[in-house]
Amino acid sequence: MRVRTLCIVITASVAMLLYSAPSLAQAAAKSVSQGSGLSYPAAICSDHSHVWVANSVGNSVTELSASTGGLVRDISGAEFKFNDPKAISSDGSHVWVANSRGDSVTELKASTGGLVSVLSGRSFGFRSRISAIVSDGVHVWVANGAIDSFTGSVTEISATTGKLVKIYSASKYGFNDPVGISSDRSHVWVANYDGRSVTELSAPSGNLVRVIKASTYGLNNPVAIDSDGTHVWIVNSPSPPDYNSVTEITAATRDLVQVLSSSSFGFSSSVAISSDGAHVWVTDGYVGTLDGQVTELKASTGGLTRIVKGSNYDFRSPDGVTSNGTYVWIADEAVNAVTEIHATTGKLVRKVT
């Protein structure tokens, strides 16, 4: 989503393929405006059949067909209690929506979009700043970010019953503003922004495995994390003058593989990452005069495949990203759009607005 003691830093000597978009006419033909309820789409996920988008300003969820990109439904209403939803995850049976300002998680049925339940309150450990959520089909893991003197915690919920399993908050876990979370069913990986660290839990038991914070890992204000079961990929987004980077470690051994930090990768304001086992996708938002872009890496080597950008893609603030191995979907908050591209070629498929 690799024990070596050598820190391998990819330098500018890595070959770069910059993908040029199709002509404006081609792009226009592939732009699909279908009255979707996209309103500041802040997060996105896919379960192979569906693509789910959390609209933070619209307080809604948009469902798209993974096979056609067509609008299936917009889900909204008081009963769902959506309140600034900024994280979303689906295991194919359920969809879990984290309401950043609602101290709650909304559970939907993936097959119908219907409401299952709304989990809320301090009894679940939710404290006004739910940062991230992931479901592996057995467990649902929720990262509760820091607020005031509270440094953060992780909540585990049963994916089948929606009941609380445990709240992890002891100092031994090293949680310090956990803002990203990923699970591959064997491990749970938590990115601690202020702690400049990653906490690993055992997915079956919830037991602490390790807190990774050695400087050799290049961890510097990690904002996003993803694991495909073999690799763990971490986006580091420090304040200037430090540069953004991606840290790769081995899921089985927690050993450092490499830190990708050269200007060749185009990392400037990286905010999200997704791996499908073959490709790794990193989104970079708008910075100064630079438009947004998406960097594709090869999962097996960490090598640069291409940087996807250009006027036809019209990336302005690409935030969430998800891939099913065939297609990649990018949620762009600034233009209220979801851009779909081919995972193998980087070519534009369609833009849904």
pLDDT for the residue numbered 14: 29
108-129 residue pLDDT tens: 999 999 999 999 989 999 986 8
Contact between 192 and 176 under an 8 Å Cβ cutoff? The reply is yes
Strand order in the sheet with 318-323: 31-32, 348-352, 337-342, 327-332, 318-323
Residue with tokens 């990929």: 233
Contact between 66 and 51 under an 8 Å Cβ cutoff? The reply is yes
pLDDT for the residue numbered 262: 83
Contact between 235 and 224 under an 8 Å Cβ cutoff? The reply is yes
- What is the pLDDT tens value at each position of the chain, 353 positions in all? 332 222 222 222 223 333 333 333 333 334 444 456 999 999 999 998 999 999 999 999 999 999 998 999 999 999 999 999 999 999 999 999 999 998 999 999 999 999 999 999 899 999 868 999 999 999 999 999 998 889 999 999 999 999 999 999 999 999 999 999 999 999 999 999 999 999 999 999 999 999 999 888 999 999 999 999 999 999 999 877 777 999 999 999 999 999 999 889 989 889 999 999 999 999 998 665 568 999 999 999 999 999 999 888 989 999 999 999 999 999 999 999 999 999 999 999 999 99
209-219 residue pLDDT tens: 999 998 889 99
How far is residue 154 from each of residues 142, 165, 171, 204, measured CA to CA in Å? 5, 11, 12, 15
Tell me the backbone φ, ψ of residue 299, rounded to 5 degrees.
-65, -30
Would you say domain 1-32+228-353 falls under CATH 3.40.50.2300?
Answer: no
Contact between 56 and 87 under an 8 Å Cβ cutoff? The reply is no
pTM (2 decimals)?
Answer: 0.89
Query: What are the residue boundaries of the structural domains of the chain, listed by start?
Result: 1-32+228-353
The SS3 of residue 171 is helix
Intra-chain end-to-end CA distance of the chain, in Å: 29
